[in-house]
Amino acid sequence: MKFSVGIIGATGYIGTPYRSEIREATTVAEIVALCARRRDRLEAAGQQDGAALITHDWREVVEHPDVNLVLVATPDALHYEPVLACAAAKKHLFCEKPVGKDAGQAYRMWAAYSETGLGHFVPFWTRYFQVFRRAREIVLEGTLGEIRAIVYRWHNPRPDSMPHTWRDDASLSSAGSIADVGSHAYDTIRWVTGYDARRVLAHADVMTPLKPDLGSIDLTEALEWGREHSVEESPSQCRATAFDYADIAMEFKNGAAGSLVLSHVPFVRKGLAPELELHGTLASLAVDRVTGTITLARPDEDVQVLETVIESSGNRFASVVFPAIQERATGSACEHPGLDDGWQVQVFTDAALRSAQRGEWVDLAEIEEESVGTRG
């Protein structure tokens, strides 16, 4: 199958590098249609990609007769309608995470695709880091025994002078950092260990001070401006409404305990400790993505660096996305993340958000039942 691709949200922080990878995969894909809100960028992208259609209306991308795969790379709250329209139009789908504004939307998207025979992919990219793939192999080999405790730290500090973007707006962001990086973290935990959370207790807050307000700019522009200017240089400031810090206690269905710390605040920095710790009945494992090291600790033995993994870069669409969508479309077994994983992850992030709002434990079953009940 050769993919004729339409991209909604084509010129933003996410869509731009995706287009570059698709352009390189000339033997399996071509870009046909682009949708974006800013005309100057859209026209430039259309020329660069050789797209037959450029438009501000996402419906034209979905309805284009030559498009058989649609990428939805817009803000979280703007995924739902295009995804359902893609299902109705029989288009294969690539949808950014978190897949919806909430778990109800995520479930309806999954339900719309579940029996269509169409391919779908959700980019939980952490699965494809070699250091995590190797950690999963070690877990599956039984080296750790039964995992009883999990610690995950995902710190992605943003410059303190970085202006406000849609990611800071609770009306457009699914759940701030809980959904932004927390979706990656929880999917990685599920994938590496095979464990699903039963309930969560979360504290979350907006810890970054006032941010420059430059209007409707994307993350690329915000990062560039923040590197060259200070907050005081902005004519106006505003406070984010989406959480940028969260500390989540987790209890898994098998009784294991976990702790997940998520942060975009500028003063919480990564690299001080391993990203992931897995503590089992036979041994403990630490995974450090910054250095690529995997460290093993056994009772009564010295801690040892088991190995250092060298990450290799490559074209993710050619090596992962297009084969995964092809597998689902042909009915083959597919281990890559899709809308089903997107829904399960969003059940978790919704539960964590609700827990932070209530200040109490929240069962994931509560969210799952509500989301399934929204079908139709």
In a domain, 367, yes or no: no
Q: What is the pLDDT of residues 12-30, one digit of tens each?
A: 999 999 999 999 999 999 9
- 293 vs 153, 162, 277, CA distance in Å? 15, 31, 12
- Please give the full DSSP string across 172-237, using - where no structure is assigned: TSSSTHHHHTHHHHHHHHHHHH---EEEEEEEEE--S--EE--SS--HHHHHHHHHH--GGGSS-E
pLDDT tens sequence across 154-193: 999 998 899 999 999 999 999 999 999 999 999 999 999 9
- CA 25-59-328 angle, to 5 degrees, is 45
Is residue 374 one of the residues assigned to a domain? no
Residue 352: inside a domain, yes or no?
A: no
Residue 240 counted as domain residue:
yes
Task: Please count the structural domains in the chain.
Answer: 2
- Domain identity same for 105 and 147: no
Residue 345 located in a structural domain: no
Chain centroid to Cα 232, Å, comes to 32
Tell me: do 132 and 280 sit in the same domain. Answer: yes
Q: Are residues 256 and 189 in the same domain?
A: yes
Would you say residue 333 has pLDDT above 90? no
d(CA 226, CA 212): 9
Domain that holds residue 112: 3-125+315-336
One domain for residues 117 and 135: no
CATH of the domain at 258: 3.30.360.10
In 10 A of CB 373, how many CB atoms?
A: 10
Written as six digits, the tokens of 238 are 């505003």
Question: The domain that contains 85 carries what CATH number?
Answer: 3.40.50.720
Per-residue pLDDT of 51-60, as tens digits, reads: 999 999 999 9
Q: Give the C-alpha separation, 258 to 249, whole Å.
A: 6
Rounded-to-integer distance, Cα 309 and Cα 34, Å? 37
Residue 167 — φ and ψ, nearest 5°? -65, -20
The reply to whether 197 falls in a domain is yes
Please state the φ and ψ torsions of residue 238, each to the nearest 5 degrees: -150, 165
Assess whether 156 and 272 both reside in one domain.
yes
Query: Is 215 found in the same domain as 228?
Result: yes
Domain match, 120 and 135 both:
no
Residue type, 286: A
Q: Is the pLDDT of residue 376 over 60?
A: no
**Residue at 371 is within a domain:** no
Q: Provide, rounded to the nearest whole percent, the portion of the chain with pLDDT above 90.
A: 93
Arithmetic mean of pLDDT, 100-116: 96
Task: Say if 376 falls within a structural domain.
Answer: no
* pLDDT averaged over every residue in the chain: 95
Q: Taking residues 273-289, what's their average pLDDT?
A: 97
Nearest C-alpha neighbor of 92 from the set 191, 10, 12, 2: 2
Same domain, 83 and 154: no
pLDDT of residue 375: 56
Strand arrangement, sheet containing 147-155: 304-308, 293-297, 284-288, 276-280, 147-155, 257-263, 245-252, 197-205, 362-363
Same domain for 156 and 200? yes
Answer yes or no: do 88 and 201 share one domain: no
Q: Domain check: are 179 and 109 in the same one?
A: no
Per-residue pLDDT, averaged over 110-133, amounts to: 96
Long-range contacts of 334-340 (CB under 8 A, 24+ apart): 336/121, 337/121, 337/122, 337/123, 337/124, 337/127, 337/187, 337/191, 338/113, 338/120, 338/121, 338/122, 339/93, 339/95, 339/99, 339/106, 339/109, 339/110, 339/113, 339/114, 339/120, 339/122, 340/110, 340/114
Residue 236 burial (10 A CB sphere; 0-12, 13-18, 19+): exposed
Co-location of 176 and 296 in the same domain: yes
Burial class (CB in 10 A: 0-12, 13-18, 19+), 268: middle
pLDDT tier at 318, thresholds 50, 70, 90: very high
Taking the alpha carbons at both ends of the chain, their separation in whole angstroms is: 32
